[in-house]
Structure 1
Amino acid sequence: MPDPNPAALEFLLSRRSRPAKTLTGPAPDRAALEPILTAGLRTPDHGKLEPWRLIVLEKPALARLAALADERATALGKDDTDRAKGRRQFDDGQLCIAVIEVQRPSPKIPPIEQTYSAGAVCLALLNAALAAGWGANWLSGWPSHDRAFVETGLGLGEGERVAGFIYLGTETSTPPDRPRPDLDKVVTWTSA
């Protein structure tokens, strides 16, 4: 017979990301962030490759990235809406964890499984932050896919890419829940 953890299951059944634009200070300090980081790295990792790394971006780093996003938007010919959106995610952020996928050569672990592991780190960090009482959101946006932005701004090398930006801060308002998937439409039961 399983040993259930009703509190953990209830958390997972009711968890809700907080829109990044509704997060304010304070953000977790290093002592508060360490258990979140530790929990986030307890993630599926076939082959124990650790195909990811984390960059904790504090407010001054976020300001630098906001300016770089603005510069890159101009260079890429982005319209005003895309330019503002790319800049705003860094301008408005209090603290951000950049989850970097690092593809490791492996004869046994295909690249797609390494990508899945990096995505699992993003969700684990998000859930750990929420469970710790912080507001949190997982974003990407066009800057995360622009090689010049990630190489210049984050120091990414070959074989590395942004899996996600996890923003943390103090929640200013609880968002309404959104519609959730209908199990009957997305689940197939097979017994043979």
Structure 2
Amino acid sequence: MKKHERIALDSLLSRSSTDDLTTPAPKGEELETILSAVMRAPDHGKLRPWRLALVHGEARAKLADRVVASMKRIDPNAPEKKIEKRHHRFSNMPLTIVLGMHLRPDDKIPLLEQQLAVGAAGMNLLNALHAAGYGAVWVSGDIAYDPVFATELGFPAPHALAGFFFVGTPKDSDHDAKRRPVTPYVAEWKGEPVSFGADKD
């Protein structure tokens, strides 16, 4: 394996999610380069069903207010502590990237494959952020499935939200999570249905 290939592989193997973030977040040309990684996601039919909405600065508080409104719409009895926690998170993250799904239900490409393409784009985004030295976490929750909230963000049905990426600089440079062994999740198929060690717990 060549040195540059090893470096790229080590980057993939060392990525982990964190929401313990501070400034700076990427911006300008650096952010554009990072975001360009989504365009390399596998995409059957070349529909490019991903959309990215950037939220920073004063808009963070507006997004947080919409998040709270969505929570109360979904559950009028939502615990106040949960509401405060989410409002704080969305208000204070250096950068939030909303990942939207621009779906075409009547296209010949199955809807599931369109959604999978958006998921692949999201993973490319996480890997690109990590490779550039930033931290991030991909979150969803009940608000991600609120069609009213999705419409407020610019994704009316049949489009939808795939989640939110909190982005910034990790406060703890040693935040990497311990990597789990892959063996329990791998099996060799030899003509009969496979079973996995991970499913035997």
TM-score, length-normalised on structure 1? 0.87
Change beyond 3 A, Cα 1:87–1:145: farther
- The Cα shift of 1:176 comes to 4.7
Matching residue of 1:187? 186
Distance 1:160 1:53, change over 3 A: same
Deviation, 1:100, is: 0.5
Residue-by-residue CA offset, 1:8-64 (whole Å, 9 max, x unaligned):
1111122122x22x1111211122100001112210000101112111112222210
User: What percent of counterpart residues are identical?
Assistant: 37
Query: Which AA in structure 2 matches 1:65?
Result: L
Whether the aligned pair in 1 keeps the contact of 2:21 and 2:168 (CA below 8 Å) is: yes
- Which residue does the alignment assign to 1:138? 138
**SS of equivalent to 1:41:** helix
**Alignment of structure 1 residues 21-100 onto 2, 5 Å:** 22-75=20-73, 76-77=75-76, 78-100=78-100
Q: Deviation string for 1:114-159 (max 9, x for gaps)? A: 110001111100110110111111111222222222222x122111
Distance (whole Å) between structure 2 residues aligned to residue 137 and residue 74 of structure 1: 24
| 1:69-105 Cα shifts (integer Å, max 9, x gaps) | 2233334311223312332331121112111011124
Residue pair 2:151, 2:157 contacting (<8 A) in 1 also: no
Contact kept, 8 Å, 2:14 with 2:176, in 1: the verdict is no
Structure 2 segments unaligned to the other structure (5+ residues)? 192-201
CA distance in 2 between partners of 1:2 and 1:108 (Å): 41
Q: Distance in 2 between matches of 1:145 and 1:105?
A: 17
Secondary structure of 1:48 counterpart: coil
Determine if the alignment matches structure 1 residue 121 to structure 2 residue 121.
Answer: yes
Matched, 1:167 2:184: no
What amino acid sits opposite 1:9 in the alignment?
L
SS of residue paired to 1:169? strand
SS of alignment partner, residue 86 of structure 1: helix
Q: Distance in 2 between matches of 1:15 and 1:72?
A: 31
Change (3 A) 1:44 1:3: farther
The alignment's C-alpha RMSD in Å is: 2.3
Distance 1:176 1:29, change over 3 A: closer
Residue type of the alignment partner of 2:184: K
Decide whether the 8 Å contact of 1:86 with 1:142 is kept in 2.
no
Whole-angstrom distance in 1 between the partners of 2:130 and 2:55: 18
- Amino acid in structure 2 at the alignment position of 1:185: P
Question: Secondary structure at the residue paired with 2:24?
Answer: coil
Q: What's 2:197 paired with?
A: none
What CA distance in whole angstroms lies between the structure 2 residues aligned with 1:35 and 1:5? Answer: 20
- Counterpart of 2:53 in 1: which secondary structure? strand
Kept after mapping to 2: 8 A contact 1:139/1:164: yes
TM-score by length of 2: 0.84
